[in-house]
């Protein structure tokens, strides 16, 4: 399978899985509803946010539109860079990682751009409906991102001299499959920088073009050099 087809397949698999999961959660769970998966360590916990990964956001409708447009621009830039890497025959791991980042960013863009138009508002007492007769809960570009994975693996209390002994939870943020795809891909790139970016080094350029260093050969000694060495 070519690098282009692998990239497209990774993007489609992650994107479809992300959207199917979000639609199932949004249309079957009430806001803040929680379903345990692994005791007190893992939950499906339905929340929505206006912004970036792991619930971070920019305030106001203007901030929401700016963030959505930034995401769209980032996906376009990643797409061009991904095509460039494929043409350079870059490391397959780097191409897969960039495909995962692109899929994750695109998955959250779909929420931001379309969910406000195609769903009505989720609430703690009622699940959302898709394509409601009265229309959606927000204009285009102002939809909320659906999050559902919650892993409060460690629970405890700070010492009394830190935050007066208040409780803490690790890992607190709620995220979705698109966020996870981006995070895993970034970690893959960070841990494999030397291998993934070998095409940027002179050695990598020679390897990709098929060039090899020619062994050095001794040049024949000229008559003048032989005469000079004899004198």
Catalytic residues: 147, 179
Q: Are 122 and 116 in contact (CB under 8 A)?
A: no
Nearest alpha carbon to residue 100 among 167, 40, 34, 178: 178
**Distance of CA 97 to CAs 6, 107, 185, Å?**
11, 15, 5
How far is the first Cα of the chain from the last one, in angstroms, to the nearest whole number?
68
For residues 139 and 136, give the distance between their C-alpha atoms in angstroms, rounded to a whole number.
8
């Amino acid at each position: 399978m070519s690098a282009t087809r692998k990239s497209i397949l990774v993007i489609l698999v992650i994107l479809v899985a992300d959207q199917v999961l979000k639609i199932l959660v949004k249309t079957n769970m009430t806001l803040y509803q929680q379903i345990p998966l692994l005791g007190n360590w893992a939950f499906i916990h339905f929340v929505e946010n206006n912004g970036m990964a792991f619930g971070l956001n920019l305030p106001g409708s203007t901030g929401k539109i700016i963030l959505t447009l930034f995401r769209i621009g980032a996906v376009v830039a990643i797409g061009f860079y991904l095509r460039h890497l494929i043409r350079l025959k870059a490391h397959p791991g780097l191409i897969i990682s960039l495909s995962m980042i692109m899929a994750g960013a695109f998955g959250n863009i779909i929420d931001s751009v379309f969910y406000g138009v195609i769903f009505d508002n989720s609430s703690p007492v009622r699940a959302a409906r898709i394509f409601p007769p009265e229309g959606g809960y927000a204009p285009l570009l102002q939809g909320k991102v659906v999050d559902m994975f919650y892993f409060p693996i460690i629970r405890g209390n700070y010492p009394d001299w830190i935050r007066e002994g208040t409780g803490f939870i690790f890992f607190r943020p709620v995220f979705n499959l698109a966020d996870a795809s981006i995070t895993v891909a970034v970690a893959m790139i960070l841990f494999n920088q030397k291998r993934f970016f070998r095409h940027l080094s002179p050695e990598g350029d020679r390897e990709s073009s098929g060039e090899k260093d020619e062994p050095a050969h001794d040049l024949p000694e000229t008559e003048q050099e032989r005469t000079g060495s004899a004198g």
